[in-house]
């Protein structure tokens, strides 16, 4: 963890921090470690010379909720690379990136920061709602590549992602891995409102869960968890290999789940074991542990790490 956190800090130092940032608790570092770590494993496979022999012509990263490119960890004041910077700074790299950010100000700052990370301009920032511009994003990728291998990172604050958006990505690119932030408590909270007859949240729930939203409600009532159900739904898109990684605040308080899924390939999708590796490494990690390690890295404290 110390090594991985140092990588995030080093990425953060590559870009100026006086502009806009996304501010979150230290637990966010575990999500960003996951992006950096898995994207390197992914790119190592996607950019291997054998892929060209198989007809693939590009490794592409798409970030649907890209933010400003830099995260300030509120517990320590440290700046670390945001998801897009963490992905593009992995040891293997990508051929191209599409980053989508709804906020005009954040999109502008992100573009400036990406130009430092990727001076050759192998990226495109779209200032729009990812649900509204997903067709544009797909077209941009298809104009550059005939048969790309795509990694999609989906990190909404709550339930802002529509199921149809993910389905469009899946339909467009046969070889497309997903890493998705799923807020279990958020889904259950909205489901509870629907149960009480608060129909104003019905559209949000239906957009998020898709055509089988009513079935999902019934399954929740029977005890199925949102993260398990979402994993099953990703499986219906042909991505059945992966893991569900809990990201903890403190103790057993889970802030959200990070789902990572890929297709089963002829080679057995061995690189998908990276998801299990992350799950195992985070098993005893929470906000306090990450904060303590960051304090040790920056000589802010000499107490026990755990």
| pLDDT of res. 65 | 98
Entry field: residues in the chain: 306
φ/ψ of residue 304, rounded to 5: -65, 145
Burial track 36-74 (b if 16+ CB lie within 10 A, e otherwise):
bbbbbbbbbbbbeeebeeeebebbbbbbbbbbbbbbbbe
Structural domains in the chain, CATH included, are 2-297 (3.40.50.150)
Q: Of 298, 180, 199, 305, which is closest to residue 243 (Cα–Cα)?
A: 180
Bridge partners, residue 96, by sequence: 60
| pLDDT of res. 252 | 87
Bridge partners, residue 100, by sequence: 126
Pairing label, strands 58-63, 148-154: parallel
The rounded distance, in Å, linking the Cα atoms of 161 and 179 is 13
Q: Of 12, 70, 76, which is closest to residue 290 (Cα–Cα)?
A: 76
Using an 8 Å Cβ cutoff, are 42 and 91 in contact?
no
pLDDT in 10s for each residue of the chain, 306 residues:
999 999 999 999 999 999 899 999 999 999 999 999 999 999 999 999 999 999 999 999 999 999 999 999 999 999 999 999 999 999 899 999 999 999 999 999 999 999 999 878 899 999 999 999 999 999 999 999 999 999 999 999 999 999 999 999 999 999 999 999 999 999 999 999 998 999 999 999 999 999 999 999 999 999 999 999 999 999 999 998 889 999 999 988 999 999 999 986 655 555 678 888 999 999 989 999 999 999 999 998 655 555
């Amino acid at each position: 963890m110390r090594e991985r956190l140092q990588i995030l800090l080093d990425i953060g130092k590559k870009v100026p921090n006086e502009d806009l940032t996304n501010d979150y608790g230290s637990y966010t570092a575990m999500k960003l470690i996951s992006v950096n770590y898995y994207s390197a494993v992914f790119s190592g496979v996607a950019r291997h010379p054998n892929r060209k022999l198989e007809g693939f012509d590009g490794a592409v990263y798409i970030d649907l909720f890209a933010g400003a490119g830099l995260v300030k960890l509120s517990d320590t004041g440290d700046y670390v690379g945001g998801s897009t910077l963490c992905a593009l700074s992995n040891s293997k790299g990508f051929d191209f990136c599409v980053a989508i950010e709804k906020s005009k100000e954040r999109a502008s700052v992100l573009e400036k920061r990406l130009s430092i990370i990727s001076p050759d301009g192998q990226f495109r920032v779209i200032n729009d709602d990812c649900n509204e511009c997903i067709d544009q994003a797909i077209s941009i990728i298809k104009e550059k590549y005939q048969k790309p291998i795509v990694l999609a990172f989906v990190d909404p604050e709550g339930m802002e992602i529509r199921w149809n958006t993910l389905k469009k990505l899946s339909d467009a690119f046969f070889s497309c891995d997903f890493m998705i932030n799923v807020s279990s408590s958020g889904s259950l909270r909205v489901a509870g409102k629907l149960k009480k007859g608060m129909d104003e949240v019905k559209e949000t729930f239906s957009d998020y869960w898709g055509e089988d939203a009513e079935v999902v409600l019934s399954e929740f009532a029977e005890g199925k968890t949102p993260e398990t159900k979402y994993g099953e739904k990703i499986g219906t898109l042909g991505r059945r290999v992966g893991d569900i990684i809990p990201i903890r605040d403190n103790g057993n308080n889970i802030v959200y789940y990070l789902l990572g899924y890929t297709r089963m390939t002829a080679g057995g999708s061995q690189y998908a074991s990276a998801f299990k590796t992350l799950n195992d490494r985070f098993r005893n990690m929470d906000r306090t542990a990450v904060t303590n390690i960051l304090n040790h890295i920056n000589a802010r404290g000499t107490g026990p790490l755990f």
